[in-house]
Amino acid sequence: MKKLPAVIALTFAAALALSGCDKLTSKPPSFQNTDVTGLPYAHDFALFDHNGKARTLADFKGKVVVVFFGFTQCPDVCPTTMAEMATVMKELGPQADQVQVLFVTVDPERDTQQLLAQYVPAFDQRFLGMYGDAAATATMAKDFKVFYAKVPGKTPGSYSMDHTAGSYVFDKNGKVRLFLRHGQGAGPIVADLKQLLD
C-alpha cells in the first residue's frame, strides 16, 4: 500500500509530460477558406467609418476583422455577402462581439457617410461602413490588390461598379490570415472564425 502514492505521482507526472507534448506538436489551424497568413500586402488602411470617425486597422486590435469591398447600389454580390456575414454573426453567438465586419465602399462618389450609415448597419448594427475620397480608396485597393472599375450606365449617375467579390480576415493581432470566397454559405466562415477566436 505504501507504493500507491508513488504510482499516483508517476502517473500524474506522465500525464503532465504528455499534455506538454500535445502542446508542442499541436497542428496549425486547418482553414476551410484560403489561408493567406504571411501575405506581403493587405497591411493597413486609413479611412473614415460611417460615424465620421477616422479609422485604421489598429483601432480594431483584439477583434477578428472581416474586410469586404463593395458599394451600396450593388444588386447582387454586396447584399448577399453582407447578409451572409449577418448570418455568421448570429451563428457565432456571444463570440460575435469579438468580430468586426467592415464594408469598404469602392464608390465614394455616391456612397456618402449618410448613405453608408443607413445601408451597412441594416444588416447588423455592429457592422461599419468605411469610406475615403477617391485617392484613399485607390490607395487601399492597391494595397489589398482589390480590383474595381466603373461600368457606364445609360446616364452619368446610373453607372455600376465591377469589383473583387471576396473578403479578407485579420486575426486579433491585426495580421491578415484568410481570404473568404464569395457565395460559399455561412458554415465554412463560422468554422474558420471560431479557430481565430479561440
Give the residue ranges of the annotated binding site for Cu cation.
74, 78, 163
CB hemisphere CA count around 89 (13 angstroms): 20
- Which residue shows C-alpha cell 458599394? 71
Cβ contact 69:144 at 8 Å: yes
CB atoms within 10 A of CB 98: 14
Give the span between the Cα atoms of 194 and 49, in whole angstroms.
26
CA proximity to 82, closest of 56, 57, 101: 101
Give the span between the Cα atoms of 123 and 129, in whole angstroms.
11
Annotated binding-site members: 74, 78, 163
Cβ burial, residue 105 (10 Å; 0-12/13-18/19+): buried
* 3-state DSSP assignment of residue 6: helix
